[in-house]
Every structure is written in C-alpha cells, then in structure tokens.
C-alpha cells in the first residue's frame, strides 16, 4: 500500500455539548478523490477545517507527508495553503476577491509565491480561464459580473493555478442549478485526473460522490459510520444510516 | 531662550512623552520599515496638519538643531510656516529654508532634491502608515500579513493597474520594500522621490499621528519600489525643463499663469530651484 499524503487519526472536537468530530480517522493518497457525505450538521466542514489546520481539534493528529500539521507555525501552514494545498469554499464569495479582476484572482497565488513577471502571470491566468471554460475576454472583468457557476469555476482556477497536490472542496456545487452542477463536477473530475490531484470533497449529493470519488466516508453526528470504496459503500451499504441515505437518494 | 513661550517644556512635549516616542523610534530603527505603535499625544494642531511628524520632530530636536519644514516641496506654504513658527516658539531652535543648512527636515509630500547627508534627519508626516489598508481593512489581518511577509496582495493591486491602464498608475505613496523585508508606505511623496530613499545617508523617520504609528529607515538601507520584471518601476516627472532654472532632472509642478490657459512647469523644491538660479546668475556675472 502506498503511504498516504494526509493521514489523520483520532480527531475529536466538541463545541460545548455538540460533538462535531468524534474519533475520526481519515487518510488520502496521491491522486485519490475521497468524498465526505452526511446530513447537515454532521461535522463535514469541521473535518475539512481541522484537516487543513484552520481549526485545532481537542484530540487527534494530522500528518501531511509525515509532518505534524497541528504543530506547524502559522507561516508554514499558510505557505502550505498557497502551494501544496488548496481550499475551495462552498460560497465562491468566500474564496474570491470580488473587487479584483478574474485575472488578478487567478494570478494572486502565483504572485504570493513570488511570480514577478506580468506577462507570464497573465499567460497563466488565460490558460487557467480556458481550462475552466471562461472566455479569455472576461479576464479583466470583476467576478461579481459572473454567474454563480462561473464564479465557482473561477475559484477553482484560482486554487489550482499553483498546482497544489491536495485540494479541500466544501460542497463546491452547492447552490448551483442542477445542469451547472453536472458540468462543474465533470470539470473537477477531468482536472483531478489530468493533474493527478488528490481531492477531499464534501458533498450532500450521493450521485456526485459516485461520479467523482474513489472512496467515500459517511458521517453522522461527528462519527464516521462507514467508509470504503465508492461502489462498495453505495451498492452494498453496511450501516443502517448509509442504507437510509442511499435508499432516500434512490427514492428521490 | 528669551524668545520662546513661557510655561512650555522644551519643544512642547513633556520629557516622559518624548522618552516614550524616542523608545518607539529606537524600535523602529532596529526593524526598518516595521510600524511601531506609540501613544500619540494631542497636539495644538488638528490631525492632517502633520501631528505625527511634529511629535517625532519634537522628540528628536535639541537646542542647537536647525529645522527646515517642507510642504508640497515649498517652505512658504501656510502649513510649513505654522509648523516652523510652532517650533521657533516652543523650542527656540533656528529655522532655515535651505536644505544644506538644516539638521532636521520635516516634510509633507516631498524629499528635497539635494542629497541629504549623514548628519541630517528627515521626518515624514504620514496620514496612512499601512500600505495594505485599502486592500485589507482589518488591522489584525494586515499585522499578520506583515509578520508573514505575505505581500502577494500588493502585487495583485499593481497587476490590476497594468491590466486596466497598461502601466502602474500609482503616482504617489508608491509602496516600497524596506531592507528586503517590510512593505512600507513612503507617505504621499511622488513616486519620483522613491529612489531617493534607497541607501539614503540620512536617517528617515515617519510619524502618523491619527493612526499612532512610527516607522523608520536607518541610513544606507535598501529601499525598493515594487514592480514587475516586464513593467519595471519608473520615477515619473513631467517631460519639461523648469521654467525658472532649466533643470531637467527635478520634480516639477504645473503652474497656471493666466486665465487664457497659460501654464508653466517649475521645480516643486523651491529652495533647490532658487539655489540653481543663483548659481546660474553668478556664472553669468
Ligand atoms: N464555530 C462553531 N461554534 C459552535 N458550533 C459549531 C461551530 N462550527 C460548527 N459547529 C457545530 O458543529 C456541528 C458540525 O458543523 P459542520 O459545519 O461541520 O457541519 P456540516 O456537516 O458541514 O453541515 P452542513 O452540511 O450544513 O454544512 C454542527 O452542529 C454545528 O452547529
Ligand atoms: Mg458544511
Ligand atoms: Zn527650477
């Protein structure tokens, strides 16, 4: 077995009486897409935040290529977040600079890691806009003039431009029309394959998980009740909650 | 000292306040370009009149100093005159309009054209010390960005200018990196003056009264204007010769001469221009 890129064990976090995470183990290897599914409030976003070092757990460990993420200084964590990691927010407004042009949004991470050649930055921005199917002539427009789906594609371009190895995605298709969602999922799938990306994606959508994910984790009230290969979990769910989740989708 | 006002401590501020400001100045000199908070005092002038610069000047002035005050390059504006008069009355120090004679130069908007020397100090009046303030309004966040030297955001701003205007449009208060570490606002001097800050022989001190910040550049420190490799920084000046002294390498002000749209370009540094005119006159005689 290959050693995981990210390896977390025993993650526990309570908000007062609310158990957001209880003894969660999760790992992801290079090029793997792992989906986290579960009902609202089950701790999915909290898990992403803890794994990406944005929030400290009460207990547990998170290792990135053997390095202790929780013990890392803020400078090191931020550097990781703009080089080897990326984070795609559910609401593109949380992940974009709305007062900065599309090209500036894509270029920011390049500039943050030291790119100082305007022509090259612009060239990269154009090539990434093309990858996420945004017309080149929108490069100088502000994201607020974009549709929700375009904003989300812009956020993805902005995140992937520095070629991260692992991307955290928190319901990247939430709030979009169904047809737009489908195209965005296709895009995420093809980019992750093309770039050999590891993706940890939170979704409510079982169909999306089936389309994208190699593996699935099912969460309920802070507990991972079931995990395994996507087809196995969805075709032969073991835990009653997973069975309910899968059947309710089939029924819908 | 007979000409100074009775009842005030030397240079207006009490000794404890001066010591507090000097401590902040020492810290500032130790960490070039880094903003140090200080307990700014109320001054008998409103904010916007250079209260930050005045407090710094008051804290460093000694009885044997000679003070020059520049406002927009000139010594004879209301603001410059009133600050000079203030220090004449509360400190009894000598004042001058000649850069060469000054030991302390307090300035708003310009750096003198004449090279400053090691035995001189220049004090800048600063309205907004935080170069990232317009990009990131939260001070806790800008503090963090400075701590991590995370300045990509400032380059995004310059990128946006080039994308929109074809060049970096910032003509004043053009951001600089000090000693390769801290991003710093040079105060609203023209970008033309930025290169003068680089490895300047004189100590450079910056005071922001309303924002309660002090920062500094020790002598001979590297000061680089931000730019891109393919859009290098250019110190822009009006492409004319001074109408009074014929200089082609000084910063010029445009002056309207009549109602018919007549205009002239003259040096903004009035002392430097007068000196050049005098030299030319002598040579002619
Ligand atoms: N900062 C916080 N303070 C207090 N409680 C919190 C905080 N963040 C999350 N919680 C609680 O922790 C639990 C898990 O929240 P989390 O946001 O991780 O759920 P989620 O699975 O992402 O839900 P959703 O699908 O609605 O986004 C919820 O009960 C939530 O109310
Ligand atoms: Mg959530
Ligand atoms: Zn002149």
- In this predicted structure, what is the pLDDT of residue A251? 45
Residue A168, phi then psi, degrees to nearest 5 = -90, 130
Structure confidence at residue A250 (pLDDT) = 52
**Which position among B166, B209, B245, B261 bears the catalytic label?**
B245
pLDDT at A136: 97
Give A161's contacts in chain B (Cβ within 8 Å): none
pLDDT tens for B17-26 read 999 999 999 9
Query: Which pLDDT value is given to residue A178?
Result: 83
CA A44 to centroid of ligand 1, rounded, Å: 8
B15 burial via Cβ count (<10 Å: 0-12, 13-18, 19+): exposed
Higher pLDDT, B166 or A175: B166
pLDDT digits (tens, 9 = 90+) for A14-62: 999 999 999 999 999 999 999 999 989 999 999 999 999 999 999 999 9
Q: What is the pLDDT of residue B181?
A: 97
How wide is the angle at C-alpha B101 spanned by C-alphas B19 and B92, nearest 5°? 50
pLDDT band at A63 (very low <50, low <70, confident <90, very high): very high
**Cβ–Cβ gap A100/B228 under 8 Å:** no
pLDDT < 50: residue spans in chain B? 1-2
DSSP B164: H
What pLDDT was estimated at residue A207? 86
The answer to whether the CB of A108 falls within 8 A of the CB of B152 is yes
Q: Residue B215 in contact with residue B223, Cβ under 8 Å?
A: no
Minimal-distance CA residue of chain A relative to B230: A117
Q: Which ligand lies nearest the alpha carbon of B247? A: 3
- d(CA A34, CA A142) in angstroms, rounded, equals 32
The ipTM estimated for the assembled molecules is: 0.88
Give, to the nearest 10 degrees, the angle between helix A178-195 and helix A148-160: 10
**What's the angle, vertex CA B278, arms to CA B276 and CA B281, rounded to 5?**
110
Helices (H), chain A: 44-51, 74-82, 92-95, 102-112, 118-131, 148-160, 178-195, 206-212, 230-235, 240-251
Query: Which residues face A152 on adjacent strands?
Result: none
**Residue B39 structure tokens:** 């307990």
The widest CA-to-CA distance across chain B, in whole angstroms, is 63
Q: E-assigned strands of chain B?
A: 36-37, 66-71, 94-95, 104-108, 121-125, 176-178, 182-184, 203-208, 213-217, 223-225, 252-256, 263-267
Exactly one of B7, B33, B39, B50 is catalytic; name it. B33
What integer best gives the mean pLDDT of chain A?
93
> Against a cut of 0.80, is the pTM above it?
yes
Compare CB distances from B163 to A74, A104, A113 and report the shortest one's residue.
A104
Sheet holding A18-28, edge to edge: A18-28, A6-15, A59-64, A67-68
Q: What is the reported pLDDT for B10? A: 86
Q: Which ligand sits nearest to residue A89's alpha carbon?
A: 2
- What confidence tens digit (pLDDT) does each residue in B233-270 have? 999 999 999 999 999 999 999 998 888 888 999 999 99
């Amino acid at each position: 077995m290959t050693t995981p890129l990210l390896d977390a064990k025993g993650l526990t976090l309570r908000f007062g009486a609310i158990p957001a995470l209880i003894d969660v183990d999760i790992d992801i290897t290079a090029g793997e897409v792992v989906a986290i599914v579960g009902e609202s409030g089950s701790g999915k976003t909290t898990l992403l935040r803890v794994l990406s070092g944005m929030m400290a757990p009460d207990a547990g460990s998170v290792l990135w290529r053997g390095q202790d993420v929780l013990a890392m200084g803020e400078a090191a964590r931020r550097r990781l977040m703009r080089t080897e990691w990326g984070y795609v927010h559910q609401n593109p407004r949380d992940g974009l600079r709305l007062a900065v042009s599309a090209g500036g949004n894509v270029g920011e991470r390049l500039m943050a890691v030291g790119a100082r050649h305007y022509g090259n930055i612009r060239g990269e921005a154009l090539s990434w806009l093309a990858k996420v199917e945004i017309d080149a002539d929108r490069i100088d427009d502000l994201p607020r003039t974009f549709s929700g789906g375009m904003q989300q594609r812009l956020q993805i371009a902005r995140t992937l431009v520095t070629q991260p190895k692992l991307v955290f995605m928190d319901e990247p298709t939430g709030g979009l029309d169904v047809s737009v969602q489908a195209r965005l999922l296709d895009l995420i799938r093809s980019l992750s394959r093309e770039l050999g990306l590891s993706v940890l994606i939170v979704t409510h959508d079982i169909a999306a998980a089936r389309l994208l994910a190699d593996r699935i984790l099912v969460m309920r009230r802070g507990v991972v009740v079931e995990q395994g290969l996507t087809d196995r979990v969805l075709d032969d769910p073991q835990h009653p909650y997973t069975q309910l989740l899968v059947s309710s989708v089939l029924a819908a | 000292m007979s000409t100074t006002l009775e009842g005030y401590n030397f240079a207006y501020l009490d000794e404890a306040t001066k010591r507090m400001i000097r401590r902040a100045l020492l810290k500032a000199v130790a960490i070039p370009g880094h903003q140090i908070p200080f307990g700014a005092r109320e001054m008998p002038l409103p904010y916007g009149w250079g209260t930050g610069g005045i407090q710094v000047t008051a804290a460093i002035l000694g009885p044997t100093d000679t003070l020059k005050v520049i406002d927009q390059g000139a010594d004879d504006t209301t603001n410059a005159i009133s600050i000079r008069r203030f220090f004449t009355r509360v400190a009894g120090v000598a004042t001058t309009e000649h850069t060469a004679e000054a030991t302390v130069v307090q300035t708003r908007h310009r750096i003198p054209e004449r090279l400053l020397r090691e035995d001189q100090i220049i004090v800048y009046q600063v309205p907004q010390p935080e170069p990232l303030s317009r990009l990131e309004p939260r001070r806790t966040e800008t503090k963090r960005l400075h701590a991590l030297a995370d300045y990509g955001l400032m380059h995004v701003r310059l990128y946006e200018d080039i994308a929109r205007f074809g060049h970096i449009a910032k003509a004043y208060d053009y951001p600089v990196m000090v000693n390769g570490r801290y991003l710093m606002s040079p105060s609203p001097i023209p970008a033309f003056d930025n290169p003068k800050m680089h490895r300047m022989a004189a100590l450079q001190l910056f005071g922001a009264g309303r924002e309660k910040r002090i920062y500094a550049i020790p002598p001979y420190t590297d000061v680089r204007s931000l730019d891109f490799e393919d859009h290098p920084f250019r110190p822009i000046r009006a492409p004319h010769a001074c109408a009074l002294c014929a200089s082609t390498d000084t910063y010029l002000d445009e002056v309207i001469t009549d109602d018919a749209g007549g205009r002239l370009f003259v040096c903004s540094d009035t002392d430097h221009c007068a000196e050049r005119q005098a030299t030319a006159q002598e040579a002619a005689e």
